Amino acid sequence: MSLSPLDMAKRYWVDDVPSATTSGSRLNNLLVSLGKGQPMTATSRSFLVARGLNTLASFLAGEISKEQFNQQAQAERDGRIALAQQAQLELEAKKIAEQNAAETREAAMWARIEAERIQRESDPKFIARKKNQELRLKYGVEVFVEEHHFKRLMSILRKLDSKSRLPEIDTLWLKSEGRDYETEEIRHAHHRFEADFCIAEYKRTSDPWQAVNASAHLRKCAASNQAIELLAAIPAVRQEQPKLKSAIRTTHGGALRDLGHFTAALTLGEEAHALQPNNFRPCTLLGALNIELGKFEIGHEWYRLAEARGAKSDNIEHEIRSLLGKL
């Protein structure tokens, strides 16, 4: 009965050598041949010596006895195992050292990156640039800003961010040369601050015109409800002048229109027109309301009346196009 590769390897004290138990390997084939009683060739001896299996080579050559072979081959095998274990320990120690060195290098790299980041972010230029980016993001300026516009635009954004009112020169610039940068966020903030200023002035002076001005700005910053409350609270005794009454009703009607209360807005618009027949503002309000209600001919007639009373034709055309685009 033939021995298994492992039993054969144990018989010759080479079971610690992987190739001894690997079928088809040169050492395994040699052991199989020896097990069949075939003599060892000179080439085979050279192979065994080259592999460090000197005791096995001497035994197969008849130079030592079976007892000597078992004693010396076992010691030789134990030595190989000890050396292999030592080599494994050294390999593991080397891997750990390399890993520690890599971790040290990585820690140093991240420390350097962090130090560079802190230094970079402490740079006044970096801080200013980051603040500019945050302001542009906050106020929705996503388009490319021309170099010759940048300083002016950032000045405007900083004013808004500090809750300061914009001087007229800045609002005119946003409507002309800087119109590409006038975002909804910028308009909203500007009109909110103007409304707050006018409300404060109204409380200080009790001048109804300040309430009208505040309401016009409130409508432009999505605060039409507040405009309605403000206008409705103006005492009747302060609404004696027809021009003021008309302005209050026109602005009040516009705020109601913003919220979709078209019938109530129409009533106020008609009252405003009756008070100031030659003022174009009630006419534009009534024109817009009628178009939104689907009464296009009546709406266009009101706009014709508005133009005859001083409303700019370009503004009327723009407003009509906007209205029709929403229907």
Q: Is residue 31 part of a domain?
A: yes
Judge whether residue 15 has pLDDT over 80: yes
Task: Tell me the pLDDT band of 299, cut-offs 50, 70 and 90.
Answer: very high
Euclidean distance between CA atoms 252 and 211, whole angstroms: 11
Q: Is residue 126 part of a domain?
A: no
- Are 195 and 211 in contact by the 8 Å Cβ rule? The answer is no
The range of the structural domain enclosing residue 32 comes to 5-97
Euclidean distance between CA atoms 315 and 305, whole angstroms: 14
> Which residue in 216, 271, 218 sits closest to 246, CA to CA?
271
Q: Is residue 324 part of a domain?
A: no
Q: Is residue 19 part of a domain?
A: yes
User: Per-residue pLDDT tens for 61-107?
Assistant: 889 898 998 899 898 888 888 988 999 999 999 999 999 999 999 99
Judge whether residue 26 has pLDDT over 70: yes
For residues 51, 56, 61, 67, the Cα torsion angle rounded to the nearest 10 degrees is 160
Q: Total domain count for the chain?
A: 1
Task: Tell me the pLDDT band of 121, cut-offs 50, 70 and 90.
Answer: confident
What per-residue confidence (pLDDT) applies to 22? 84
How much is the mean pLDDT over the chain? 92
Q: Is residue 217 part of a domain?
A: no
Q: Is residue 43 part of a domain?
A: yes
Judge whether residue 286 has pLDDT over 80: yes
User: Per-residue pLDDT tens for 147-166?
Assistant: 999 999 999 999 999 999 99
> What share of the chain has pLDDT > 70, as a percent?
100
In the chain, % helix, strand, coil (3-state, to 5) comes to 75, 0, 25
What per-residue confidence (pLDDT) applies to 5? 82
> Which residue in 193, 199, 196, 201 sits closest to 165, CA to CA?
193
What per-residue confidence (pLDDT) applies to 289? 96
User: Per-residue pLDDT tens for 196-234?
Assistant: 999 999 999 999 999 999 999 999 999 999 999 999 999
